Every structure is written in C-alpha cells, then in structure tokens.
Amino acid sequence: MISEKMSKLLERSAAMSSMYTESARLKEKYGAENVYDFGMGNPNLPAPDSIRETSIRVLQETDPWYLHHYMPNNGFPEAREKIAASLNRRFGEHFDANNIMMCTGAAGGLNCLLKVLMDPGQEILTFAPYFGEYDRYADNVGCTLTTVPPNIPTFQPDPAALEKCVTEKTRAVLIDNPNNPTGVVYNEETIRAIAAVLAKKEQEYGHAIYLISDEPYRELVFDGASVPWIPNDYKNTIVAYSFSKSLSLPGDRIGYLALRSEVEDFENIVAAVAVATRITGFINASGLQQLVCAKCCDETVDISFYDKNRKRLYDALTAYGYEMPKPEGAFYLFMKTPTENDLEFVEKIKEHRILLTPGSGFGCPGYVRIAYCVAPETIEGALPGFKAMMEYYKNK
Amino acid sequence: MISEKMSKLLERSAAMSSMYTESARLKEKYGAENVYDFGMGNPNLPAPDSIRETSIRVLQETDPWYLHHYMPNNGFPEAREKIAASLNRRFGEHFDANNIMMCTGAAGGLNCLLKVLMDPGQEILTFAPYFGEYDRYADNVGCTLTTVPPNIPTFQPDPAALEKCVTEKTRAVLIDNPNNPTGVVYNEETIRAIAAVLAKKEQEYGHAIYLISDEPYRELVFDGASVPWIPNDYKNTIVAYSFSKSLSLPGDRIGYLALRSEVEDFENIVAAVAVATRITGFINASGLQQLVCAKCCDETVDISFYDKNRKRLYDALTAYGYEMPKPEGAFYLFMKTPTENDLEFVEKIKEHRILLTPGSGFGCPGYVRIAYCVAPETIEGALPGFKAMMEYYKNK
C-alpha cells in the first residue's frame, strides 16, 4: 500500500541496502578487521575538537530562546554574515548575509533550489558519472535529469558533448566538483568552456541557464590542485556547499547556498528559497549547527590523512595493472574494472571481503568507486585481494 | 527566471512576509512593547535548562565520530528505542526502535511520509480549518488536498461530512490534533467516528486509507483534556510528532514518526521512509538533536504559562462579546470576527497595533487566529484594542 512510485524506488534501493547488510554479514562472519568496506562515503575522520568546543560554548553563551526558536527560513543573519566574510576573504567576493542561505546539508539546499528554479517537464543536465541521487532530486520537482556521456579516460566534462545536450527545456546544469565518484577536479579550462557553451545557449534560447555547483568536497584537494570558484567564470552560478566532508559532520546536516547579487532574478531566488525551505518541510537548517559551522567555517579535518590513503591505493592499484584517473580531490578512486561488467566485478571481489560500489549507479558502467575515507589498515588488508582479482581476470 | 510554479507561491507568500515586515515596521515606529504580535506560533518560552545540560553532556560524552557521522536514514537506533520506551510507558504501546523513525521536525516527517504513501493524482483529505502548509505538502507529491468543510462552532470534525468527501482516490487523511489554528482537541468520540468512516471506506475501496495524525501540540493541553492516542482507535494510523512546541525547539528541527507493526504494509513503509528521507535531501535528522530529545522526551516546558495566557485572553475576549470555541490545546484562539471579512478585520485591528492571522489562510474565513505564546504583557497591552474593535463593529 505504499505508492507505486515508491515501490519502484524501494526495489532499486534494496541493492544499496543489501550492500550494508552484506557488509554487516561479512563482518560478523570474518571479523570487522577482515572486511574491507570501501562502499560508502562516510568520512572516517572524526570532527575536529573545535566542533565540540564551539558547540559547548555556543550552548553556554547563547540565549536559549534565540538559539532554539524559529528564525528566518534562510537562517540566522549572523551565521550568513560570517560565511559571507569567509568567502570574501577566500575568493574575493563581495557577499553579505543576503548572498548566503543556510541549508540542511547540500542535499537539502539542492532540493530547495531545484524547487525554485524548475517547472515540471523541464530538464536538468549533468555529466556522467554523477552522484546517483541527482536523478531523484530532478524527479522530486517533476523534471528529467539528462546526462552528458562520460569523457573517458580523463573524466573532465566535454563541452562539445554538453552543447549537443542543451535544449530549450534546459534550465539548470548540475555539477559536483570535485567529482563524486571520480575524484576528478573539473579544472578552470573545463569550467570556462562549459561557461562559454551555456552563455551561448542562454543567448540562443533567451532565458537563464543556471550552473549549480555542488561542492561538498571543495576543501578535499591534493597535489596543489585548486577548485575553480565558478562565479568568476559564469554569471548565473549558484554554489551549494556542505560541511559534511570538510568538517566530518555528515550527520549534522548543515551547509549553505551562495550566489552573487548579479545572478539573474537574484532577489526572487533568495526569497523563493526561503519559501521552498518552508514548504518542503525543512523550515530552516538546525540553529545550533548554523552558529557552530559559521564559527568554524575556515577549518577542515586533516586532509593529509586522505591524501596518504589516496597515494597508497592509487600507486598499488596502478602497479597491479588497474586503470583510473589520478584523483585530485574528494576521497574516491574511480577504477576501470578488468571486465566490462562492473556488477560482476563487485560480486566477485566480495570473495576477498572487499566491498565497492558499481559505476553503474553513477551512470558509468565498467567502473567501480572506491571510497578511501577509511583506516589505512583497511587499505593494506585489501591490497592482496585487489591484486588477486587482477590476476584472475588476466588469466581468465 | 524562477519557475512559474514558485512565482505564484512567492506572491502568496508575500502576504505572510508582509506581516513580518509590518510587525518590524510597527515595532520600529511605536516601540516593541507597544506592538502586540499574535501572528506566529513561535513559542515564547525558552527550552528547558535540561536541553542545554543534556546537549553539553552528549557532546562531552559521545564519541565524535559516532555523534556526527552518517547513520541509518531513520535515525540512531538508541534514540528510537528511548522514544519507543516512552510511548510504551505513556500509551501502553509495544513499540521498539523499528516503530519509530526520527525526522527533521514533523514537517520533514510528513513530507517524507506523503512521498511514501501517495502517487501523483491521488487525494489527501483534511478538515478545515487546517494548517495552511498542508496544501503545499500535498502539491510536493503531485496530489490534491481536499478539505472537509469546517464544523462551526465546535470545530470538532464532522464524520458525516468526511464520509461525503472520501473517494476512491483518497489514500490519506491528515489531521492536526490538538488543532492549529483552533486549539480544539479532537476528542475520543470524534476520532472513533472518523475511524469508523475510514474503516468502512477501506472495505468499500479495497485499499488502506492512512490516518496521519500531526501532533506537535500533543503535550499542550488544558482543563484536564487528553489527546486520544489514535493507534488505539484506528489500525492504519501514523503519528507525526515534533519537539518544537513541547520543548520549545522549533529551530532545531527534530521529531519522529510512530506507527504500530500492524499498520498495513508496515515493513515497506519503514523502509520507504528511509528512502524518502534520503532522496528528498533530509538524509537524517540531526544526530545531536536526536540523542538530546530522546533523553528529554518525557519533559515539557511549563504548560501552565500558556494556560494562564489562554484563560486571561479567552475570558476577556468573550466578555467583550467575541465568539470562539474554548480551546483545550495548542496555544491558539480561533476567534470569529465581528465582520465576515477576516482580512478587513486583520487590517483594521492593526490600528491598535495588534497583529493577527486571518482564518482564510487556514481554509476558514470569518475567523482570526490569535497565537497566545506571548508574554502576558502583550496580552494586557492588546486587550483595550480588542475591546475597541468590538465597539467599533457594534456601532458601525
């Protein structure tokens, strides 16, 4: 008696749930230390101590009525001001509180934003491979998600391929940079080329095409890579940010949307995000988390921890003969499977008690995602299994 | 360039925003103490001290990884268990963690639940007057909200009127008990009669009709009234609860859904709420708030504070000649306006620096909602204005 629509989603979701169940089953059977779970992007670093300290201080020093009560739907002005000031320092912006909207994680912010920008029947574009939930976010507002085919092997989006996909119905392009699942940072050249295509199409169709940049991994970059600040390259950019990864707070659900006042229909967007936040049931991002993250927004967890994992895993896997782009960001490797059937590979490697996510779930079969936000021992324990799998396929 | 759909909502919302602006304008002009704002249901009591103390203790004693990281979408099992145990003690339930799903306030829970139960084109029923956002929640899932006409003057829902409104497309009936905006507690007799109608219609149409009871005001009852525990009366009941009012935590966004294992399609509902929570962007209710509210779930703010406001205001207003049901719950009075045009009354009474919400916004013109979750001085200051307004209309 649940809805037909949800029944179908539940079936699909069963695959993901079974991965958790499988992980738990294997851990029970072989001991947790003998199971190598690279399935989920749940950061294994704890939040910095400053989160605990700041939370306690805010609780002690803030009037409880102010702290816990209804506030403007877009968040406490003081939190928005602090984040605006941080972005001004970092990216030379001229933001004030009005340019920032606190949201319930980037996922909450994206859903409210799509509600604001999209009418049913319109199209959102993204580049494969992409974060699998984008399909659902599009469906939530009655829209379709059209995917630009993956640009193998670099996974830098291909602007020419984008140009072919934009239609009159395209109102938003949604990117995730650094990318989940590839770990690739869309570089300045790519972003400028995307911007040129979109500006041309805006002209052609006579309406704005918003570039929504989902940036929960913005701080997680390596080898001196830098994530382009897209408002510099494209006028109608809206940035969605989450503190889930930079501060290891995914369970807190806190982030923000940021946009310049020059973005087309800026005032209506800001007002409408407040309405969308209310009518979708978010109402506002949790007050305490807003104040805490605003105070800690210039901090991050120890990124070098992920970098060590990245190097160790990348070097070992490529030495075994696996192919993948060297990731410069996030905490994922996107590895080509030695068989075209990534689902088969994911099943087969379970014999070595290694859990991975098939690329099919990200719109890119023939690859697997390896989430390396894990203990170094997990990597060391898993390497013989990865090696054995490559040998198996070579000799098959 | 925001969507057409949102443009229309923004216009409607402008009326509400202008109320806040108006309040701010009047306060600036006359001084905050001379403006009597009964517009919004923002509890004026602060959260109990135990919220601060428990929050600090949880932050100090909980492993930060556990506290801040991804958890099951339906919440921490330990939080769900504690709330289950509380409901077992209070209502003789036999719940365990599986019967409870933590959600981002009742508004978040309702939106996820409707996503689970409703297919586009189906109908949700509610009784006027009703919480105005229900229209939007229905629209979010492509459904219509059909309202059963108000049963004036008691505002106890009329089961016979309900029976006429149920159709084959009705999959859910959504009630708010104690009711916002009337403050009326739907009593046991009413609930049983509603249950009888729905059970008959379930039989007739051969599918479940879920009764969703939105109960953020469950603890706010007076004169010894008690809110029926609806799972006792109707099998397919799902309760949505929020700590926003009982613990004065509206800005925290924390609540839960509760249902018996006997509810039709129970296991799929629970699994699908997890999926809905993920795909709508909620992901999970904030972890800290889950643990804190689970520990404090048997506490409330000082309800007698609201009761004093209720009595003072009700007695004075009825003495002036106003008519309204005597509310037994929530913190609202729903007062008949001396003119049929509630919008005109709301405008006119602003001359006395009194701000009210028109009944039209709750599907019941000819009435106004008075939110008495205010300081006693606000009530005292406003009484002469209410009196003058009645005299004005009597002599008109």
* Residue-by-residue DSSP string for B89-146: HHH-----GGGEEEESHHHHHHHHHHHHH--TT-EEEEESS--TTHHHHHHHTT-EEE
A321 touches chain B (CB under 8 A): no
- Tens digits of residue pLDDT in B156-168: 999 999 999 999 9
Question: Which CATH topology does B49-295 take?
Answer: Aspartate Aminotransferase; domain 2 (3.40.640)
pLDDT band for position B396 (50/70/90)?
confident
In angstroms, the CA B98 to CA A192 distance is 50
Residues in CB range of B304: below 8 A, 6 or more apart: none
Q: What is the pLDDT of residue A22?
A: 82
Question: Can you give the residue ranges of every domain in chain A?
Answer: 4-47+302-394, 49-296
- With beta carbons less than 8 A apart as the criterion, state whether A68 and B293 touch: no
Q: What is the pLDDT of residue B16?
A: 67
In angstroms, the CA B110 to CA B105 distance is 9
How high does pLDDT run on average in chain B?
Answer: 96
> Average pLDDT in the A17-45 region?
88
**Interface with A, mutate which of B5, B6, B133 (most A CBs under 10 A):** B6
Supply the DSSP string of B339-364, one letter for each residue. SS-HHHHHHHHGGGTEE-EEGGGGT-
A253 touches chain B (CB under 8 A): yes
- Test B1 with A117 for CB contact under 8 angstroms: yes
> Average pLDDT in the A279-299 region?
98
- With beta carbons less than 8 A apart as the criterion, state whether B220 and B245 touch: yes
Using the CB atoms, write b or e for A311-348: b if 16+ within 10 Å. eebbebbeebebebbebbbbbbbbbbbbeeebbebbeb
- Test B282 with A120 for CB contact under 8 angstroms: no
- Tens digits of residue pLDDT in B69-109: 999 999 999 999 999 999 999 999 999 999 999 999 999 99
Question: Which CATH topology does A49-296 take?
Answer: Aspartate Aminotransferase; domain 2 (3.40.640)
> Average pLDDT in the B306-318 region?
98
Tokens read off for A241: 């940010």
- Tens digits of residue pLDDT in A235-276: 999 999 999 999 999 999 999 999 999 999 999 999 999 999
Size of interface A-B (CB pairs under 8 A): 244
Spell out which residues of chain B touch residue A253, defining contact as CB-CB under 8 Å.
104, 282-286
Q: Given this chain, do its domains B10-39+302-394 and B49-295 carry the same CATH topology?
A: no
- With beta carbons less than 8 A apart as the criterion, state whether A153 and A323 touch: yes
Question: Which CATH topology does A4-47+302-394 take?
Answer: Aspartate Aminotransferase, domain 1 (3.90.1150)
Q: Chain B 272-291, CB below 8 Å of chain A: which residues?
A: 272, 275-276, 278-289
A206 touches chain B (CB under 8 A): no
CATH code for residues B10-39+302-394: 3.90.1150.10
Q: What is the pLDDT of residue A11?
A: 84
For B22, list phi and psi in degrees, rounded to 5: -60, -45
A58 touches chain B (CB under 8 A): no
Q: Per-residue pLDDT for A17 more than 70?
A: no
Q: Per-residue pLDDT for B58 more than 90?
A: yes
Tokens read off for B378: 């606000």
Residue A133, min C-alpha distance to chain B (Å): 6
- With beta carbons less than 8 A apart as the criterion, state whether B135 and B167 touch: no
- Test A44 with B67 for CB contact under 8 angstroms: no
pLDDT band for position A192 (50/70/90)?
very high
- Tens digits of residue pLDDT in B272-303: 999 999 999 999 999 999 999 999 999 999 99
Q: Chain B 35-54, CB below 8 Å of chain A: which residues?
A: 40, 42-47, 49, 51-52
Strands A210-214 and A332-336: unpaired
Q: ipTM of the predicted structure?
A: 0.96
Residues in CB range of B349: below 8 A, 6 or more apart: B356, B385, B386, B389
Q: What is the pLDDT of residue A21?
A: 78
Question: CA–CA distance from B396 to each of B355, B382, B393 (Å)?
Answer: 22, 21, 5
- Tens digits of residue pLDDT in A303-352: 999 999 999 999 999 999 999 999 999 999 999 999 999 999 999 999 99
Cis omega (within 30 of 0) on the bond before B46?
A: no
Q: What percent of chain A has pLDDT over 70?
A: 99
- Tens digits of residue pLDDT in B178-215: 999 999 999 999 999 999 999 999 999 999 999 999 99
C-alpha torsion sign, points A25, A26, A29, A32 = negative
Coil vs helix vs strand at B365? coil
For B302, list phi and psi in degrees, rounded to 5: -75, 95
In angstroms, the CA A318 to CA A323 distance is 6
Q: What is the pLDDT of residue A241?
A: 98
